[in-house]
Amino acid sequence: MVNVCLQDIKRRFNNVTAVEDISFEIPDGEFWVLVGPSGCGKSTILRIIAGLEMATSGKIFIDDRQVNNIPARQRDVAMVFQNYALYPHMTVSENIAFGLRMRKVDSARIQERVLTVARSLSLEHLLDRKPKQLSGGQQQRVALGRAIARQPQVFLLDEPLSNLDAQLRDDTRVELKQLHQDVGTTTIYVTHDQVEAMTLADKIVVLNQGRIQQIGEPQFIYAQPANRMVATFLGNPPMNILPTKFTANGFDLGGQLLPCPSGVKKMLHPVVGQEFDLGIRPEHVYINEPQRRRENREEEWGELGVEVRVVEPLGRETLIRAALLGTSVMMNVQVGGDMRLRSGDRLSLELEMDKLFVFDSATGDKVFPVNP
């Protein structure tokens, strides 16, 4: 097992800067996920680590050895792509064995290794088939098997589940997590799917427009997003963002007022006319919150009127998209699955104000709460 370290990596393509200021160190055996919207530079970073792309500047270390000038095949990393790129004329067994044969491992050892890997990925009954006789999920497991069989020092996975249907993606994700727990190889995983990022990662690196926005454990990033981009990217449904102007009576949202929590006042000293984006997660917005609970923590609640636009029943719960009255600002609300609502209904939402985030409306930086 090895660590992987990037120092100040930059990659330019002609006049396009794909990534910039990329620095992090992944300790031995950890599973890190690079996540962000399309074009944010995730694949470029992974390809630079693999040696498939040169960094314009900066240093790359694998196992404390600088590898900038070491060719891909000598870096001892295995990469799995979204399109599995199996050899169509080879059987599953031969595909899994391929990397070992290239390294001239003796055939008894190869056979043993193929069987072990096939068992760990539930492929042992498919060893004699060709790729075209397999489902997409099975093909992706073979691609993973081929990478695992080599026992590389580092796994690099680029959106390996994105071609699978939803059920298979969920199952394979769990298998991947189990596999990492068993094998413990340092792994870097690229995805734009925040659920994969949250569920798989020891640490998440959130990227946007070629730059790191935040690095941290999934729960920490969810609870303490560094900025508006991170706050709205992780979490489904995403955090509600409410543009507002501060007034003498609190936050003004298109004519409706939310009280300014005492903590915000003390920390931010907002001045009248100052603009912010307020953030509140859907799980902290309620309809019909019991009076008793509200009375206990009166100053920590705020109320907003909305009009329901879209109702999405999911069984156990229902998701609602509703417009803040008098504005085009949309909010996400989660209610119990037994609640009957229709487009056009007007509701009064209750907001748990001590769960409020405040972002600088110009930069998007989180200004409240400050990180512990």
Binding site residues, ligand ATP, CB under 6 A: 13, 16, 18, 36, 38-44, 192
Closer residue to ligand ATP (CB): 39 or 254: 39
Name, in order, each residue with C-beta under 8 angstroms of 234's C-beta and a sequence gap of 6 or more.
35, 194, 197, 198, 204, 206, 218, 221, 222, 225
Distance in Å, CB of 204 to ligand ATP, minimum? 14
Closer residue to ligand ATP (CB): 15 or 181: 15
Closer residue to ligand ATP (CB): 55 or 126: 55
Distance in Å, CB of 361 to ligand ATP, minimum? 26
Angle at 330 between CA 326 and CA 332, to 5 degrees: 135
Closer residue to ligand ATP (CB): 47 or 228: 47
Give the span between the Cα atoms of 265 and 14, in whole angstroms: 48
Distance in Å, CB of 156 to ligand ATP, minimum? 12
Distance in Å, CB of 12 to ligand ATP, minimum? 9
Closer residue to ligand ATP (CB): 45 or 127: 45
Closer residue to ligand ATP (CB): 39 or 263: 39
Distance in Å, CB of 328 to ligand ATP, minimum? 29
Closer residue to ligand ATP (CB): 16 or 362: 16
Distance in Å, CB of 82 to ligand ATP, minimum? 8
Distance in Å, CB of 77 to ligand ATP, minimum? 17
